[in-house]
Chain A
Amino acid sequence: MPTQVIMPKLGESVVEGTVGRWLVGEGQPVKEYEPLLAVTTDKVDTEVPAPATGILLKIYVAEGQTVAAGALLAEIGEAGEQPSGGVDASGVHGGAAPAATPAAPAGRPSATPLAQRLAAEHGIDLADVPAAAPGGKVTREDVEAFLAATGSTDEDALQSDALRAYAPRAGAPRSLGFISPAVGRLAAEMGVDLAQVVGTGAGGRITKKDVLAYVATPAPRGEESLGRAPASDELPPWERPGSGDLFKPTEEMGREAPAPVQRSAGGPTRPAGLTLDSELAPMSAIRRSIARHMVDSKQTSPHVTTVMEADLMRVVQARERLKGEFERQGVRLTFTPFFVQAVVAGLKAVPEANSSFTEEGLLVHRRIHVGMAVAIAEGLIVPVIRDADERSLLGLSRVVNDLAERARAKQLAPDEVQGGTFTLTNHGTAGSLFAAPIINQPQAGILGVGAIQKRAVVLSKGHPLLPDAEDAIAIRPMAYLSFTFDHRILDGRSADAFLEAVVSYLEAYSPKAS
């Protein structure tokens, strides 16, 4: 029996995931524990290892598709083995078939029978329907997406004749998982269609109790529902529409048969303005997530940015002095841990900077969890250094390096990018002198560190502003620190007090104090 690849639950509050990329194609061999596919959630990207060694028999969920945790993604089995989770709803076995089909003549795109039928029923020219599949074959999903986008559909139409007539025959029944002898016998004796029964056993298996509970519940499988039930219930689990209740506790959502998450942005919809002069680049989940967070933040907080300059002579000296020692312990010492320490000093001086705004009052956090922005190929991610105030420079270095490495390798757990109380962004690494970063909600502020540059500065022991005989011009490693704060929480005075504390800490840096 093939091994099922299931969408993992990637965190306590994460109930869905998007298939980013299949790292192995259908029909190709896979090895247990080796990366099989990349999954993105709104929190994190990660790779899902293969649960078994064998041949990737069938991929059920295409790249870019979002499904609930627990959904069947693919099946792995032996060469020549038939996938058990069923034929895809189009009635065409995946893999070999499209390759063997000669290219469709131009203007008459290749489409699955079900897609053709749906298109005919709705009077659509299939040439207008973009295909999501790599082979260019238009599937039922593509037609549905097209219909949804052009507004020419309604639920009933989709559920109606075409599907009812076609799906039960062409689409295999949904994968029911293992049917125990008791369940099989009960179903036969009581005339229960097991496809209608929600499984609560291990891996969603239908248990004897589930069948008995189903039989005992009079509920909605009267004559009226029988009329339209077959179409949707014959569909594989990942294709059935969600119950529509978005506010269910997550435990319950995990228990149910995986329901697809309805996404307005999902599927190949066509934005206005798409002409021959432009092309539509699909947005990754992380891009979408960044976009949403940034807009939300700007709409939530009145942003103000204040900038100070810091003389990093002592920090640079300390780093030069400690670098070797740290290296012997296997730790690369960067500037980031110093800035984390400075942030901690600032937050201790101005506790309101370590808070969140609520209508009921200011939520001042007792613990200091500093998020650090890490640029990755796909965008930006902010892993969190927990209890940053309780760590030594060495400890911070280890955590910073570890989080940054794993962020780039997409190996962060969702919980590691949550719960920050303040954020540090090191935009200077790319040469930026100063920036006005956007607050990572629901935090009170974000500190940007600009590029460290040697600059000529005036050192003075005389009059603070007027030229003086005691003045000297020195070359110092300088950096601009930009502090963006939520003006609902902090004002110029308190924000500058925070920034001043950060600067003082850095300028007076002494490793002993760390």
Chain B
Amino acid sequence: MPVKTNIEALRETLAAEMRRDPTIVITGEDVGRRGGVFRATEGLYAEFGPSRVIDSPLSELSIAGVGIGLALNGIRPICEIQFADFIHPAFNQIVNEAAKMRYRSNATFTVPMLIRAPYGGGISGALYHSQSIEAFFCHVPGLYVLAPSTPYDTAGLLRTALRSPDPVLFLEHKKLYRSVKGEVPDGDFFVPVGLADVKAAGDDLTIISYGLMMHESLKAAEALTREDISVEVIDLRTLSPLDKDTILTSVKKTGKVLIVHEDNLTGGLGGEIAAIISEQAFEHLDGPVTRVAGPDVPAMPFSHPLQDFFMPDAEKIAAAARRLAAY
């Protein structure tokens, strides 16, 4: 099976999907001739031409608005937000229009739009190139939020998302673009939306994570194995809707849960997961549902030591897991 990086899996799947479905168009800043700042759309302009790979103005509001208009007219747009940090001007279009369209039109209109947004820190991107924005959008019904962490999941979820009748926010962790490699089968395969993946099985406690933090959690789990602490690691993959079954099944097995995300703590996804567990698996808890998350500071600092302080990592995760295991 071919081994690919996340960015390769993404690019190749985009190209394959565009070949399959002639209604797919890509729009965003520098997605055309330049191939995107992360080279996610490299070669697509050459292959599919300016009518399907469209460089947009520097206006996220317009990128999302154009996408919604295309989607309502039988085109399947892929809107690239160059950095997720820039998505906020498009918030109104995404939340008020795209996410509510099916509901307010009684399913007369739907918005089959895919929004790709590179997110996350740890890449010295500082304030405006490091944000995690998932919590804002997971709050919004009518929107799928995906955050794959491996090349396989990236390809499989992207393929599924490009068949979705409703808007999808597709989050790609920038640090994982080239730092992670994995096997990706040739041909069409699908990872279902709304299904989490148990990336490591264990008995003593469950770590629930996604994105870059999933990989840090795996590292922590590996270290803890040597200390005889058996850790189960769940990769959510889909952040909205959450795969409650996988979460609850694991909680019932281990009784102890550590939720890890890079997004800051307050109002983050961890709080929602903790609430679900507390409501639906209370009698199975053998320790406090614990969170490791980015601190509640306004933004990712540029200074390296401060960035390290901000970012949860395998060591911080292992420390929290150790405490929880000993509880």
Contact = CB atoms under 8 A, between A and B. Distances in A.
A511 B284 CA distance: 71
Interface string A182-214: 111100000000000000011001011100000
Contact of A181 (B204, B282, B326, B327): B282
A411 interface: no
A205 B255 CA distance: 14
A180 B326 contact: no
A184 B285 CA distance: 10
Contacts of B255: 180, 182, 208
Contacts of A181: 282-286
B280 to A, nearest CB: 12
Nearest to A203: B327
Given A180-B255, A182-B255, A208-B255, A202 B285 contact: no
Contacts of B282: 181
Residue among A180, A183, A201 facing the most chain B CB atoms (10 A cut-off): A180
B321 to A, nearest CB: 14
A207 B286 CA distance: 7
Contact of B284 (A185, A202, A205, A209): A185
Contacts of A205: 327
B287 interface: yes
A1 to B, nearest CB: 15
B252 to A, nearest CB: 9
Interface in B284-305: 284-287
A187 to B, nearest CB: 11
Interface in B227-280: 255
A183 B327 contact: no
B231 to A, nearest CB: 14
B284 A201 contact: no
B286 A182 contact: yes
Contacts of A182: 255, 283-286
Interface residues of B, number: 10
A317 to B, nearest CB: 56
Interface residues on A, range: 10 to 19
Helix, strand, loop or mixed for chain B's interface? loop
B326 A208 contact: no
Contacts of A184: 283
A468 B132 CA distance: 99
B326 A201 contact: yes
Nearest to A207: B286
A184 B286 CA distance: 9
Residue among A182, A183, A185 facing the most chain B CB atoms (10 A cut-off): A182
A201 B285 contact: no
B323 to A, nearest CB: 8
Contacts of B327: 201-202, 205, 207
Nearest to B282: A181
B93 to A, nearest CB: 44
Contacts of B286: 180-183, 207-209
Nearest to A188: B283
A183 B284 CA distance: 8
Contacts of B285: 180-182
Nearest to B204: A209
A208 B256 CA distance: 10
Residue among B204, B282, B286, B326 facing the most chain A CB atoms (10 A cut-off): B286
Interface in A133-186: 180-185
B247 to A, nearest CB: 16
Contacts of B284: 181-182, 185
Nearest to B254: A208
B236 to A, nearest CB: 23
A202 B204 CA distance: 15
Contact of B283 (A185, A201, A209): A185
A209 B204 CA distance: 8
B57 to A, nearest CB: 55
A191 B6 CA distance: 51
A208 B283 CA distance: 11
A208 B287 CA distance: 9
A207 B284 CA distance: 11
Nearest to A208: B286
B31 to A, nearest CB: 50
A210 B284 CA distance: 14
B229 to A, nearest CB: 11
Contacts of B204: 209
Nearest to B327: A202
Nearest to B323: A202
A319 to B, nearest CB: 51
B157 to A, nearest CB: 33
A177 to B, nearest CB: 11
A208 B285 CA distance: 9
A180 B285 CA distance: 7
Contacts of A201: 326-327
A184 B255 CA distance: 12
Given A180-B255, A182-B255, A208-B255, A202 B283 contact: no
A180 B283 CA distance: 8
Nearest to A211: B286
Interface string B191-206: 0000000000000100
A201 B286 CA distance: 10
A251 to B, nearest CB: 14
A159 to B, nearest CB: 33
Contacts of A183: 286
Residue among A184, A202, A208 facing the most chain B CB atoms (10 A cut-off): A208
A208 to B, nearest CB: 4
A182 to B, nearest CB: 4
A164 to B, nearest CB: 33
A208 B327 CA distance: 10
Interface string B25-68: 00000000000000000000000000000000000000000000
B120 to A, nearest CB: 34
27 contacts: A180-B255, A180-B286, A180-B287, A181-B282, A181-B283, A181-B284, A181-B285, A181-B286, A182-B255, A182-B283, A182-B284, A182-B285, A182-B286, A183-B286, A184-B283, A185-B283, A201-B326, A201-B327, A202-B326, A202-B327, A205-B327, A207-B286, A207-B287, A208-B255, A208-B286, A209-B204, A209-B286
Given A182-B285, A202-B327, 8 more contacts: A180-B285, A180-B286, A181-B286, A183-B286, A201-B326, A202-B326, A205-B327, A207-B327
The 7 closest A-B pairs by CB, nearest first: A208-B286, A182-B286, A185-B283, A182-B255, A208-B255, A180-B286, A181-B283
